[in-house]
Structure 1
Amino acid sequence: MAHIDYYFATISPFTYLAGPQFEEIAKKHGATVTYKPLDIMGLFERTGGLPPGQRHINRQEYRLQDMRRRAIVTGLPFTMKPAHWPTNPAPSSYAIIAAQEAGGDVGGLINALTRSCWADDKNIAEDDVIRACLEETGFDPSLADSGLMVGADTYARNLEEAVSKGVFGAPFFISDKDERFWGQDRLDDLDRHLSGEF
């Protein structure tokens, strides 16, 4: 059975845009997934990237055009300038880590949280928003308040592991054969890889 380590950031627009399609691909191939939320700003700093607002204007303008196009292609509702972005991704990440430990629809939770940011103009650093997403996807809302020390430790460890494995952006997928795929626009390649094409 194939396995995918999925490195992502809850405040990443491209994590949101990858959501349902990635889950469908994993299900199609019977792949298991380990979800690894990380500090994307820390990842940029460690791997030579810059936060979007510090990039050259050419890159900023292209990013906005690409987000708009990707949203149209996926058919997902999308707000180009969310009311609460950037925000602190740690609380939502800790909830995902606790949910993965508890077992359940972690992919659905990630999709609910990223949709809250990128379509619903909600602040995913706020406990009530996180609790609502947990409840929506079948988790106990109290997971938002549990395992915070473990969550913080795992969150930091995910960043270290990501850097050591060649990750430099989000979403980033690594197969059990160490094939690496960066970005929502590489999901078709991931699908082909899991089909044995490369």
Structure 2
Amino acid sequence: MAHIDYFFSTLSPYAYLAGTRLEEAAAKHGASITYKPLDVVALFARTGGTPPKDRHPSRMELRAQELTRQSKKLGMPFNLKPAFWPTNGAPASYAIIAAQNAGGGDLGILAHAILRAVWAEEKDIAQDEVVRAALTEAGFDPSLADSGLLSGAETYAANLEEAASRGVFGAPFYVTDTDERFWGQDRIEDLELHLAGKI
């Protein structure tokens, strides 16, 4: 069975625009997924990237146009300048890690609920009640928001190290068990074609 390591940030607009298409592609082709939330700004520093706040205006202008176009193309509500961005994405990441360890719910729905809260619902994912609501929506025990914080922090840091060592430099980033790498929500179709043995 094919496997995908999914590296992403709970603050990434592109991870939000991925929706649940990764999960749909994996289900169609019998692939499993391991969710690996990480600090993407720290990853940029490690891999030659530039945080949005430090990018040249021309890059930021294109980013704004592209995000707006992609959201319309996908039919997804999107706020280019959300009220709570940037914020501390670590607590939500720890909750995803705890949920993955606990099982019993839908991790794709959880990740998307957290990203949707940022980019479409004007919610602060650093707030406990926002994370708890996402856990509940995805079928997990909301108390996972408060459990395993130390191990969550350790895994979150380990995900960053693993990403840097495996050629990951942005989010969302998909790495298969055969080390095929796909960067960006606009490459999910290519990932699916790879899973189907076509590319």
Structure 2: give runs of 5+ residues left out of the alignment. Answer: none
Deviations 1:2-42 (A, max 9, x none): 10000000000000011221111111111100000000110
After the TM superposition, list the runs of 4 or more consecutive aligned residues in structure 1 that deviate by more than 6 angstroms.
Answer: none
Q: Secondary structure at the match of 2:93?
A: helix
Structure 1: give runs of 5+ residues left out of the alignment. Answer: none
Distance 1:96 1:147 in 2: 11
Distance 1:58 1:23 in 2: 34
Q: Secondary structure at the match of 1:19?
A: coil
Distance 1:25 1:67 in 2: 22
Distance 2:123 2:195 in 1: 35
Q: Output the TM-score relative to the length of structure 1.
A: 0.99
Q: Which moved more, 1:145-154 or 1:103-112?
A: 103-112
Deviations 1:51-79 (A, max 9, x none): 11110111101111110111012111111
Aligned residues: 198
Q: Output the TM-score relative to the length of structure 2.
A: 0.98
Q: Secondary structure at the match of 2:182?
A: strand
The equivalent of 1:7 in structure 2 is 7
Distance 2:126 2:73 in 1: 28
Distance 1:159 1:188 in 2: 25
Distance 1:28 1:125 in 2: 33
What amino acid maps onto 1:135 in structure 2?
T
Q: Once the two structures are aligned, what percentage of the paired residues are identical?
A: 63
The equivalent of 2:18 in structure 1 is 18
Cα-Cα RMSD: 0.7
What amino acid maps onto 2:29 in structure 1?
H
Distance 1:37 1:55 in 2: 23
Say if 2:75 is the partner of 1:75: yes
Deviations 1:89-113 (A, max 9, x none): 1000000000000112111100000
Q: Which moved more, 1:71-80 or 1:3-12?
A: 71-80
